[in-house]
Structure 1
Amino acid sequence: MSSKTEFNNDSFLKLIDHLFKPLGSHISFAESVEDWNDIISTDFLGRAKSSSSRVEEMLDHYNAKNNLKWRTFRENISSIKLFTDVAYITLHLKHTSPQYKLLSGIETFLADTNDVIDQYSTSLHWITNELIESSKLVGLDQDNSHNQDLYRAIESPRGQLPSDLKKGHIDNPEQVIVSLATSYLNLASESVLLKKISKLHCDDYRELVPNSISENSIRLLESKFHNLQSLYDTYISSSDIEKLDCDLKLIRGHASIVYHLLEASTLLIHYYERHIMLIPVQTQTETCIPISTEKILDILVNYYINYAEQFLTAGKNLCKKVIKKYAEEGKIDVSVPVYRGFHVRPSTLVSKIIQHYGSEVFLHIGGVKYDASSPMNLFRVNEEINAVKRRNLAQNINSLKTITAFENRDDYEKGLKEIFHELLEDNKIINYASEFSLPDIKTISEETLGEFANRAIANLLAQGKIDLRTDLVVTFVGDKRVLADLEILASCGYGEDCYGNNVVLPEELSYLRK
């Protein structure tokens, strides 16, 4: 029969005291400095984050967050870890963003970055005081001497080491460059939420987390930008492609800064969800939190997310420029959608394919050019398609023998039925109505049977009860990669059969299902 081992508090205290010594030393140094802004360096922040992570890990292993005695100490350790981490990232942005070759706005960004770092400096100063007090309450040794030389600032040399390693060679650099730019644009299309959030009024900030964004959603976006940065570093920076185009480093720079801004956003949202949201709103001002709820949300939206959206948009414009420069142009002739031409579904699918690649593609018909990336522009193509259908209708009606068989105006209704059935049998008309009847319209003086029939059938067409078959084709001109997928889309009826029922798209177009 086994007995439950009694927990040894003294042994636990010794363990945490041992792990806390390095962090205590960093705090001791920080407290010895008059101006906290003087110690906000990547060296101090990195050491403090690493030390606090080790302590937090062990506290969590022993369930300290659910223990009345240790809970406050553990909360302060978590705060130190998070704010040294987010401050480290922000300081990294300050130091490296000038090297990212950003297109614009860097001066304003750096000024705002300094303001955010100042806020973290104040918050960290507050947290360390709280941590010292809570460490006393749990009985940790307060003799945490520090080695002043350990934190002595070392002047950083200017410039960089020469790039003297041999670069790999890629035979098809244009394809790699276009692929990188396309990947960026695809990721940008998944990030539309950032723009919506950046435009929110401050009164709506409290409803933001977790209703609009959460740690999970921003972390997922962050990881995708990290993957994009890794893609560049793996396949481009280690090759000779970078020398071909100076815009490539710009793309990498924009992807990197967006990644780091989202990385810091994830940490702040984590803190808000795990720590602040659990505190009732009416007691938050009385509770020991290092930074107010309003300030955290303000920094999150107006600094991290707002600048992520700004740099993301600048990068999008850059990628479109690169694609336009390198994409190989071609043209294809394809049939128009059978069911009602370029209505909502076909137009949307066409535009999504073009937007997926980030290229310019134009549709040509009747001597007019339309921007095929816009569904609204494609809707306008139907005006030309319907005009052609109406002209073809008149020709088809006038070619029928029935036209000459009914010369008396009183027989026009009967003649209309014969004409309609003949067109239906010749597969010139598609009937969509389950309960069909010809329109009850009056003849006009001096009107021929052909004119009367043309008017009646055009009336049915306008009501959407029928459609007219046509062998009309349109021409798409632009990026060959896009054209290849548009050709596949057209071959499967633009995602519809002739009655407007959805058709499963082939695997090559699986990205349209997102």
Structure 2
Amino acid sequence: MNEPPQAISAASKRGEELIADREFCDLVCTRGRTLLELASNLAAMRAGEILLPRPLIGRLLLESGQMETLLDEYGARQNQYWSRFRALTASLKNFARIGEVLAYLRRRLPTYRLLPVAGDFRLATREQLRLVGGVVAEVAAALLEEAQGVGIDVSGIVPFPGEFGGRLPRGRLAHNRGDRIAGDTATTVTHLATEFLNLAAEGELLRAAARIPPAEYAACFPDPVSEERLRQLTFRFHNLQSLYDTHVTGTTIETSDDELPILRGHASVIYHLLDIATDLAHYYERHASPHTADAVLRERPVVDSDATMATLFAYAMAFSSDYLAVGQRLCQDILRRYAESGRLDVPVPSYRGFHVRPSNLVARIVAHYGSAVQMDLDGQRFDAASPLELFRANEAINARKRRWLALEIARVHPDCAGALAPEAAAAAVLAIVHCLAGEGKIMLYRQPLQFSDQLGRREGSVLENSVAEIAQLQATGQLDIRTDLTVTFIGDRRVLADVDVLARHGYGEDAFGNNVALPKALSYLRR
């Protein structure tokens, strides 16, 4: 186990003092004896106990974490003799953490009051805990074998003498503490429900992963699945749970609203499932992936990658997606009950009114919150959750534009009420169109304009000819009439706030109908 000369030379150039092989081996043997005894316990359990006892998991996490720190302090990861021992120690800690979360989930499930989903989550969690227990035992056995390979005498290592299989008594303490009176808890509840909906909108990663066949699991790394993306999503759900516990737990409003603890339960179970998914993604990227993994475990694997990926995709991410969907509907119901009604006056979209894109964006905002919102135009109400309803409002908008246009034509051409010969009428219409375009009252989308063959030939006055020709140009998308028309949205203030942001950003378009980037506050609309 002597260091090769090139390694000694490289270390000397960095000014590092090298520790003797035997001295380091003795150090690991002394500091790691408890860990190796625990590994001996686990290796012996492979043919017997299948569910990891919680006290054993806790002690295993402590000892493996301390050993990993010691190995890193001496640079074991970069040492050809100790790198595999270090990787196995890290893997043992990683899967022990997963086992700890699974055991916690299994124990806490009755308190979460989870809404029904397609799969049997309770049974699946028990099965995953059994599988992870087997993985931990296999890694522990490999660690013992590797310890012997690096020179540690394991002949005297026997199972840890502590008792880890004792059963804890059933039940919970009485909930007899009085409710606390918090500040504006209702505002916090609506904030939490809204944030859950925003996270649900960003959960396409989970929904997509739940639909992926097993043969394509590995191809999902690093896009769309990665440890980094899962960790970010995990953090946000953990933050959601923490906000609830700080501002809602134990308050009078929580006691009076049965759905609030259910919201907390769904945020918590998704957080824990994402925590498991993050650890599994970390293991795959660090130790199993053909593109990013360290060769020390990839070339001689201990853990079945197919089983690991099945736990990641078919359990952790699939159930996260399911509980995200039912939690989304729960939050929409909460927001409807806590909704504060308001009114919002906003301008009509400048490019062709409520055509497809603006109508869809407004409807998606309303659908995101699940609240009832209406759009009022001259006393006529339209369901803002329906793009077709909003699109239908263009009939009334265009009628108002034509009435406004008649007044503008009369202003720029006072003699428009009379009839003229075809050539004179055509010249008058052209002059009116160019005058209004020059004043910005008409937006031209095509130049030169392609006028109809009826220009100046229609019966009636110059006014009637002008209105008909401009309407024809508008219908063919060559121009639009610019006005200061406004509509009023009525409903949930949270929905109105986002509609206001959308309107301030041109409903996602510029004056010529080109798409523009939506602000961060409306990021859920980008998906």
- Please classify the TM superposition score into its range, dividing by the shorter chain length: 0.7 to 0.9
Distance 1:332 1:193, change over 3 A: same
For the residues of structure 2 that align with 1:285 and 1:149, how far apart are their CA atoms? 31
Amino acid at match of 1:109: F
Q: Alignment partner of 2:442: what SS?
A: strand
Aligned to 2:338: 326
Q: 1:308 aligns with which of 320, 328, 339?
A: 320
**Conserved 8 A contact 1:402-1:418:** no
Deviations 1:274-311 (A, max 9, x none): 11114899x99994323332222222111110100000
The answer to whether residue 174 in structure 2 is matched with residue 153 in structure 1 is no
The answer to whether residue 412 in structure 2 is matched with residue 402 in structure 1 is no
**Conserved 8 A contact 1:352-1:512:** no
For the residues of structure 1 that align with 2:228 and 2:390, how far apart are their CA atoms? 37
For the residues of structure 2 that align with 1:5 and 1:471, how far apart are their CA atoms? 78
Aligned to 1:464: 477
Q: 1:244 aligns with which of 231, 250, 256?
A: 256
Q: Alignment partner of 1:151: what SS?
A: coil
**Conserved 8 A contact 2:40-2:141:** no
**Conserved 8 A contact 1:324-1:359:** yes
Deviations 1:189-215 (A, max 9, x none): 222221112112223212111121111
**1:48 Cα deviation after fit:** 1.4
Q: CA RMSD in A?
A: 3.5
* Structure 1 gaps, min length 5: none
**1:329 Cα deviation after fit:** 1.4
The within-5 A match list for 1:485-500 is 486-487=499-500, 490=503
Aligned to 1:44: 56
Q: 2:468 aligns with which of 427, 435, 455?
A: 455
Report the TM-score, using the length of structure 2 for normalisation.
0.85
User: 384-393 or 230-239: which moved more?
Assistant: 384-393
Aligned to 2:424: 411
Deviations 1:292-337 (A, max 9, x none): 3222222211111010000011111000000001111123343313
**1:365 Cα deviation after fit:** 3.4
Q: 2:29 aligns with which of 7, 17, 28?
A: 17
For the residues of structure 2 that align with 1:441 and 1:298, how far apart are their CA atoms? 67
Q: Alignment partner of 1:413: what SS?
A: helix
The answer to whether residue 242 in structure 2 is matched with residue 230 in structure 1 is yes
Q: Alignment partner of 2:480: what SS?
A: strand
**1:439 Cα deviation after fit:** 0.7
Q: Alignment partner of 1:157: what SS?
A: coil
**1:28 Cα deviation after fit:** 2.6
**1:503 Cα deviation after fit:** 9.4
The within-5 A match list for 1:274-313 is 274-278=286-290, 287-313=299-325
Aligned to 1:119: 131
Aligned to 1:218: 230
**1:245 Cα deviation after fit:** 0.4
Q: Alignment partner of 1:337: what SS?
A: coil
Q: 1:253 aligns with which of 250, 260, 265?
A: 265
Deviations 1:154-210 (A, max 9, x none): 33231x222344443134332222122112111222222211121122232121111
Q: 1:381 aligns with which of 379, 393, 398?
A: 393
Aligned length: 508
Deviations 1:246-289 (A, max 9, x none): 101000000000001100001111110011114899x9999432
Q: Alignment partner of 1:144: what SS?
A: coil
**Conserved 8 A contact 1:359-1:478:** yes
For the residues of structure 2 that align with 1:377 and 1:318, how far apart are their CA atoms? 26
Aligned to 1:66: 78
Distance 1:370 1:111, change over 3 A: farther
* Structure 2 gaps, min length 5: 1-11
State the identity %.
33
Q: 1:99 aligns with which of 97, 111, 115?
A: 111
Distance 1:330 1:39, change over 3 A: closer
Distance 1:433 1:137, change over 3 A: closer
**Conserved 8 A contact 2:43-2:138:** no
**Conserved 8 A contact 1:30-1:39:** no
Distance 1:240 1:346, change over 3 A: same
Aligned to 1:196: 208
Q: Alignment partner of 2:315: what SS?
A: helix
**Conserved 8 A contact 1:30-1:36:** no
Q: Alignment partner of 2:123: what SS?
A: helix
Aligned to 1:512: 522
Q: Alignment partner of 1:150: what SS?
A: coil
**Conserved 8 A contact 1:37-1:118:** no
Q: Alignment partner of 1:37: what SS?
A: coil
**Conserved 8 A contact 2:214-2:310:** yes
**Conserved 8 A contact 2:341-2:491:** yes
Aligned to 2:69: 57
Deviations 1:460-487 (A, max 9, x none): 2123332213343322111123335545
